[in-house]
């Protein structure tokens, strides 16, 4: 076999970065999305959280409005294709948010099958389709696009390696899917607020309480200020060639 795509590993990140940012509603996830550059960022709005976007010059795609003449699968597929094929050029994509998108998808399957309530098949098909979507959107990194998935938070009872049940807070994507989805992306960050001062930060480093992840170096282990542009710039500026061998 000819290794056409084998190259020496770069000293800096030379592709896009994918992140999951999760927190309770109202903490500031949509506001965080607006810290990405105007004119270079597409915010895919799946819920009614337009407030923080008002007055900005960000391009916002309203999924709800598009559902007037297409179903959810058609909307998300066509939206992905116009970005993937370069018909719509963008450097940053934010899906705000995937927790709400999961709920919409379950409703779509339930109603399209003329059921009154979702059953195991609807929940299973939702989990499968969301995994496919996360994989697809995550792969936009190879085009140099940064991809941000916003999500609500949820406390999961999880079993660790020794069989003990522990409670950890993570993105609301379903107990059976949370580990797989967090494993796909480069970073998983929990957005937090200090009640006494209102100061906000994003935690990426390992935690006993939160599901967090950072595959790269360059970030402050104590947490980062809520600015996605600065977070991504710090990650891409880190030079691995300067590390001692």
Both ends of the chain: CA-CA distance in Å? Answer: 32
Average pLDDT of the segment spanning 126-131: 96
Average pLDDT of the segment spanning 137-151: 97
Residue written as token pair 């950890």: 168
Residue 245 — pLDDT band, cuts 50, 70, 90?
low
Most confidently modeled range among 144-148, 164-168, 208-212, 218-222: 144-148
Asked if pLDDT for residue 143 goes beyond 80, the answer is: yes
The predicted pLDDT at position 160 comes to 79
Across 5-9, 14-18, 135-139, 164-168, least confident range:
5-9
User: What are the C-alpha distances in Å from 158 to residues 5, 11, 20, 128, 155?
Assistant: 39, 36, 19, 21, 9
- Which residue(s) pair with 213 in the sheet? 188
Q: Which residues contact 153 (CB under 8 A, 6 or more apart)?
A: 22, 23, 24, 169, 170, 171, 172, 190
The predicted pLDDT at position 129 comes to 96
Give the span between the Cα atoms of 32 and 164, in whole angstroms: 35
Asked if pLDDT for residue 192 goes beyond 90, the answer is: yes
Residue 244 — pLDDT band, cuts 50, 70, 90?
low
76 vs 4, which has greater pLDDT? 76
Average pLDDT, rounded, for the chain: 91
Asked if pLDDT for residue 48 goes beyond 70, the answer is: no
Give the span between the Cα atoms of 202 and 169, in whole angstroms: 14
The predicted pLDDT at position 5 comes to 66
Average pLDDT of the segment spanning 99-127: 95
Asked if pLDDT for residue 216 goes beyond 60, the answer is: yes
User: What are the C-alpha distances in Å from 229 to residues 38, 46, 102, 175, 199?
Assistant: 11, 22, 27, 30, 18
User: What pTM was estimated for this model as a whole?
Assistant: 0.93
Residue 179 — pLDDT band, cuts 50, 70, 90?
very high
Question: What number of other Cβ atoms are within 10 A of residue 73's Cβ?
Answer: 14
């Amino acid at each position: 076999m000819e290794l056409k795509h084998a190259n020496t590993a770069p000293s800096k990140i030379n592709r896009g970065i994918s992140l999951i940012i999760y927190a309770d509603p109202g903490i500031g996830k949509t506001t965080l999305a607006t810290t990405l550059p105007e004119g270079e960022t597409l915010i895919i709005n799946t819920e009614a959280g337009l407030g923080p976007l008002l007055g900005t010059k960000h391009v916002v795609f309203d999924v709800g409005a598009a559902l007037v003449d297409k179903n959810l699968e058609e909307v998300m597929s066509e939206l992905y294709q116009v970005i993937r094929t370069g018909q719509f050029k963008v450097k940053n994509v934010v899906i705000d948010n995937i927790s709400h998108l999961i709920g919409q998808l379950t409703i779509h399957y339930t109603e399209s099958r003329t059921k009154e309530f979702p059953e195991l098949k609807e929940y299973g098909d939702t989990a499968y389709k969301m995994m496919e979507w996360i994989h697809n959107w995550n792969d936009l990194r190879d085009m140099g696009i940064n991809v941000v998935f916003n999500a609500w938070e949820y406390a999961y009872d999880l079993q660790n390696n020794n069989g003990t049940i522990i409670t950890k807070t993570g993105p609301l994507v379903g107990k059976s899917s949370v580990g797989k989805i967090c494993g796909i992306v480069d970073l998983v960050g929990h957005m937090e607020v200090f009640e006494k001062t209102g100061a906000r930060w994003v935690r990426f480093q390992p935690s006993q309480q939160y599901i967090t992840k950072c595959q790269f170096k360059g970030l402050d282990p104590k947490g980062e200020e809520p600015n996605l542009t600065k977070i991504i710039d710090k990650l891409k500026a880190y030079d691995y060639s300067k590390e001692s061998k």
